[in-house]
Amino acid sequence: MIVNPFVVFFAAIFTNNMIFSNFLGMCSFIAVSSDIKTSIGLGQAVTFVLAITAPINYLLYHYVLVPFGLEYLRYIVFIVSIAAFVQLVEMIVERSFPALYQSLGIFLPLITVNCAILGVSLFMTIRNYNLITSTLYGLGSGLGWMLAIVALAGIKKRMKMSAVPEGLQGPGITLIITGIMALAFIGFSGIVQIS
Amino acid sequence: MEKILTTLLIFSLFTGFLAFLLTLAKKTIGNYGIMKVTINEETEIEMEGGDTLLSGLTEEKIFIPSACGGKGSCGYCKVTVESGGGEILPTEFGYVTPEERELGVRLSCQLKVKEPIAISIPEELFNVKEFHPTVTAITDLTPNIKHLIFTFPQGEEISFKAGQYVQLRAPKYPGNHEEVFRAYSIASSPTEHNKLELIIGLVPDGICSTYVHKHLSVGDEVAMTGPYGDFYYQESTREILMVAAGTGMAPILSILHQLKAMNSERRAIFYFGARHEEDLFFLERMKEFESDLISFEFIPSLSKPHRETDWKGQLGRVTTCLQRDLMDPCEREAYLCGSPRMIDSIVEVLIEKGIPEEFIYYDKFS
Ligand SMILES: Cc1cc2nc3c(=O)[nH]c(=O)nc-3n(C[C@H](O)[C@H](O)[C@H](O)COP(=O)(O)OP(=O)(O)OC[C@H]3O[C@@H](n4cnc5c(N)ncnc54)[C@H](O)[C@@H]3O)c2cc1C
Ligand code: FES
């Protein structure tokens, strides 16, 4: 099946949003969403890492693993390459954007274990995307993740003064909000569709 | 078989390549070059950029107190940053008070030097050195407290003020896989420069105290840095009030040695609190001080003696004794040593009894 790369790109942002349709990358989504500026920063970092690791893992998969018949290694190879590139990103951010580095704190290295990143690499091989589609899929997923976390941070900010029942404070109410947001995103589902 | 070999080969090539890439990045992106650190506006040192300030200073043999060895969990390694250094990090918030933050106080083990930086540290820290003495005696004072004597090798000499402390290094040993430094007050006389005494209590599961109690023996070489601390004997004419419990006797002993060396005639009283009879120690030494010093008095007090009828000294907590004894208005200064809880309650009593806060000196053994 030939898919239009741009359809995939937009689908990754709206209809097949990593968070709202797959519930991937929830850990930092819940933990870093209390401040809009920080969530934009983390969103940028995730987008950046996704846009880089998607094509790299594509090349690794199709030009190294497939020719040698080692497809079964992809989980570990993807994880290792993601870990290495996150380190690289961390060094670059530390050097060039100290303020961002500070506000991200521990969450920058934690991107390594953000399952949305591994998810993108695995989905793109399962769905047989080509290089361009994979790259746009990675970029789109990142932007979609960023959209979701920034929106959540915005909602949380507005809710600061509201009286949340004690047992639901913190992650509890955040998960409920996320569920409602996911419902709202279903509204996009007629626009574009990828499996 | 072939498949296993190709798997291994491809995977090692792949990880090798990534490792190479990261090393290269560390050399280029992570390389900040040599950075200049200006200390107290006069001393300049150079250090590897990107390293923590604490490690840069240690490299230059400037020892900042650092009980946790740079893990950001003790809050001892504070320095004041005059310029450079960037924003304070979230990992420092717990240890730097808002007032200190205003002044630019930072934890030197968290601060990575990425630009030229100017700091100020107490002048005394320049005198802090590293020592490698040998243990020459270990004696049990109580079931839980040991007295240790260290002798310095030829060429190493320590000068300190009575009341100051050293940091003893606990190396890795079976059951402990991290190297830590812990503070211990010097119990010996400041007039002795090639010998040092410590009094160390066993803390259940404590890293350094377990090392001292269970693994250290006579003849072993240890590593320590010092002297540190702004708790020390002050010259004045006020009456001296000393209060301690358990290992808190250590710095008081040093102060008593100092008084003796000076042939001091200052009036001094030492309240020593313990629970049972077996928690008391160095009673003989205290008798000697009482006869050597013209106006020194030692008052041990037991809160729970086993045989109340046999115990001839004071009964009750030290705070109770102080409440009762400090009736006359008199110019006093106080030296307190012990657990934070004990010190807080004693300071309260002393202030109530009219001793100005600036004349109450203490070391909290936390
Ligand atoms: C200025 C100063 C002077 C001092 N002078 C003396 C002295 O003269 N004599 C003396 O005996 N002591 C002195 N102390 C106290 C000494 O520095 C140590 O704090 C003490 O010996 C305990 O150290 P440790 O390494 O054995 O225990 P630590 O390993 O620091 O542990 C202390 C306690 O905390 C618990 N603990 C440690 N880590 C954890 C964790 N991660 N989670 C939960 N619990 C934990 C341990 O179980 C233990 O009960 C002084 C302290 C100060 C600050
Ligand atoms: S050395 Fe312990 S906090 Fe810095």
The pLDDT of residue B327: 75
Q: Which residues pair with B181 in a beta bridge?
A: B169
Q: Does the beta-carbon distance from A102 to B89 stay under 8 Å?
A: yes
Cβ neighbors of B202 (< 8 A, separation 6 or more) are B144, B145, B146, B209, B210, B213
DSSP string, B221-282: B--EEEEE-S-----SSSEEEEEEEGGGHHHHHHHHHHHHHTT----EEEEEEESSGGG---
CA distances from residue B281 to A64, B94, B141, B250, B274 in whole angstroms, order as listed: 74, 38, 6, 11, 10
CB atoms within 10 A of CB B307: 8
Q: Does the beta-carbon distance from A80 to B18 stay under 8 Å?
A: yes
Q: What is the pLDDT of residues B165-219, one digit of tens each?
A: 999 999 989 888 878 888 999 999 999 999 999 999 999 988 999 999 999 999 9
pLDDT at B309 over 90: no
**Residue in A85, A88, A96, A101 to test binding to B, most B beta-carbons within 10 Å:** A88
Packing angle of the helix pair A74-96, A115-126 (nearest 10 deg):
130
Measure the CA dihedral B341/B346/B349/B352, to 10°: -100
CA angle B154, B127, B138 (to 5 degrees): 50
pLDDT band at A191 (very low <50, low <70, confident <90, very high): confident
The pLDDT of residue B247: 92
Residues of A in contact with B14 (CB under 8 A): 60, 64, 77, 80-81
Cis peptide before B227 (omega within 30 of 0): yes
Write the single-letter amino acid at B106: R
Interval between CA A101 and ligand 2 midpoint (Å)? 21
Residues of A in contact with B8 (CB under 8 A): none
CB atoms within 10 A of CB B365: 23
Residues of A in contact with B89 (CB under 8 A): 102, 105
Please give the average per-residue pLDDT across A158-170, as a whole number. 86
Alpha helices in B135-231 (DSSP H): 207-210
In the structure, which protein residues have their CB atom closer than 6 angstroms to any atom of ligand 1? Answer: B 165, 180, 182-185, 199-201, 203-210, 229, 247, 250, 363, 365-366
Closest CA relative to residue B252, chosen from B136, B140, B366, B363: B363
Lowest mean pLDDT, pick from A86-95, A133-142, B44-53: A86-95
Write the single-letter amino acid at B218: V
Q: Is the ipTM above a cut-off of 0.95? A: no
Bridge-based pairing of strands B268-274 and B296-302 is parallel
The pLDDT of residue B253: 94
Q: What is the pLDDT of residues B215-260, one digit of tens each?
A: 999 999 999 998 988 889 998 888 899 999 999 999 999 999 999 9
Chain B contact present for A44, CB below 8 A? no
Residues of A in contact with B30 (CB under 8 A): 91, 94-95
**Which is higher by pLDDT, A189 or A15?**
A15
Write the single-letter amino acid at A56: I
Q: Does the beta-carbon distance from B14 to A105 stay under 8 Å?
A: no
Q: Does the beta-carbon distance from A98 to B86 stay under 8 Å?
A: yes
* CA dihedral over A115, A120, A126, A127, signed as positive or negative: positive
Bridge-based pairing of strands B332-338 and B239-245 is parallel
Q: Does the beta-carbon distance from A88 to B89 stay under 8 Å?
A: no
Q: Point out the ligand 1 atom lying closest to the alpha carbon of residue B186.
A: 8
The pLDDT of residue A2: 62
C-alpha B223/C-alpha B167 separation (Å) is 9
Mean predicted lDDT score pLDDT of chain A: 86
C-alpha A26/C-alpha A31 separation (Å) is 8
**Closest ligand to Cα B64:** 2
